[in-house]
Structure 1
């Protein structure tokens, strides 16, 4: 192009008419002039609400909950490899939220990534569970003993529904629902320390302790009920401020690798 020449639009390109509410390359001068005001008050423009976006995180949360239940219920077997597309088809979602949920479960020690294949459900031994129980007792028992003298009885009474929910699930033999109730109860207790780091670590340890052991016997309903009843007994001792009983129950409950598998 020669210096000083002005680039012109090709004649074959038709100029698109301006559409209301959208800018054009030629600016507002191509729009018709607005009608003159008559003096009457015009209503203020209604603000345009943004269109709702798909809540991908909620889908991932639902998939994560479903995968947890499948793991706790034994539908996803230890040692087996599952691909994200196959699981996505099973739950009627895309593969992306399945992969994201599986990555989180891998961080919790439930599965491990198998390159180009999917995710393998981790195999747990009785020793693994015993070591997790020992670490949990080291952290939670001192915390509960300290809370026993600091938290008023009325606050402990508020945890009754959580303990009752665990007992009801155990009485039905519902291992998945009991695992969820067990986690909710222990989370509520440790949260009373106000220590977020301790609560996060305790949550993670309990999750890891709940994953099934490979080839281990499944707890019977009576054993689940005995485990759940210890939550009620612990609350009774905390409310009555029987500190020696609190310590004994907490140690017995946390020192044994007895979880639904």
Structure 2
């Protein structure tokens, strides 16, 4: 597990370290771990570990067991599908509106974020890449002038992160993800609302489907068709 380094709060560092350990398989689903064990491994007190685990429990990544510790839970494909169904219902119309009213300032900002994503992909810097990925989406959402929409989608993305769900280096590369944003930008630059909405739909749908399939595989199952249907049901918007 990645050691804490004092660059941010201990709780945040523990949270990120544990999420990475779950994602990498270092902490295994179904296994029981103790707060004391993690505190010793990370060389921190039990308080930030306990606080971090409480947040992960709220996100559904772990479950506390009385007098025993906590157990890492398997990711639920349906929960991931529900998140992406909502993202499709919100982000696709927002992208259509952004393309309809796009100005040069919006296009320049999107180009800057996509260029930063490509550079981060080249360096294989996933945290930096994801910050610019998020910024790209937030710029489009904010173009509609609805802060509630930006905040809501932000919370949905946070839920995916808290679940430890990521396609990076499992089903696609950072460069692949960056490439999925190129048709979105091209359609925005062309002021083509239909093409922009379709490009966003394809990107978000693809991400959601890959994560659902991965979660099902992690649970020893084939693709969860009921969960995938939730995402595909949103495609008719």
Scaled to the shorter chain, the TM-score interval is 0.5 to 0.7
Whether the aligned pair in 1 keeps the contact of 2:59 and 2:159 (CA below 8 Å) is yes
1:96 matched to which residue of 2?
47
Q: Which has the higher Rg, Structure 1 or Structure 2? A: 1
Whether the aligned pair in 2 keeps the contact of 1:60 and 1:97 (CA below 8 Å) is yes
Q: 1:122 and 2:90 equivalent? A: no
User: Given the alignment, which residue of 61, 83, 91 partners 1:110?
Assistant: 61
For 2:18 and 2:140, the matched residues in 1 are separated by 26
Whether the aligned pair in 2 keeps the contact of 1:73 and 1:176 (CA below 8 Å) is no
User: Given the alignment, which residue of 135, 148, 157 partners 2:86?
Assistant: 135
Task: Report the TM-score when normalising by structure 2.
Answer: 0.67
User: Given the alignment, which residue of 196, 201, 213 partners 1:246?
Assistant: 196
For 1:82 and 1:219, the matched residues in 2 are separated by 28
Q: 1:218 and 2:170 equivalent? A: yes
Q: What is the Cα deviation at residue 191 of structure 1?
A: 4.3
For 1:209 and 1:250, the matched residues in 2 are separated by 18
Q: What is the Cα deviation at residue 252 of structure 1?
A: 0.8
Whether the aligned pair in 2 keeps the contact of 1:143 and 1:193 (CA below 8 Å) is yes
Q: Which has the higher helix share?
A: 2
For 2:29 and 2:211, the matched residues in 1 are separated by 16
User: For 1:173-212, what per-residue CA distance to the aligned partner results, in whole angstroms no more than 9, with x for missing partners?
Assistant: 6666655554444344434445444333312322333535
Q: What SS does structure 2 have at the residue aligned with 1:255?
A: helix
- RMSD over equivalenced CA pairs, Å: 3.4
Whether the aligned pair in 2 keeps the contact of 1:108 and 1:207 (CA below 8 Å) is no
For 2:63 and 2:135, the matched residues in 1 are separated by 25
Q: Which runs of 5+ in 2 are unaligned?
A: 1-5, 215-237
Whether the aligned pair in 2 keeps the contact of 1:157 and 1:239 (CA below 8 Å) is no
Q: Which has the higher contact order (CA 8 A, sep 6+)?
A: 2
Q: Which runs of 5+ in 1 are unaligned?
A: 1-54
2:3 matched to which residue of 1?
none
Residues matched between the structures, number: 202
For 1:68 and 1:190, the matched residues in 2 are separated by 27
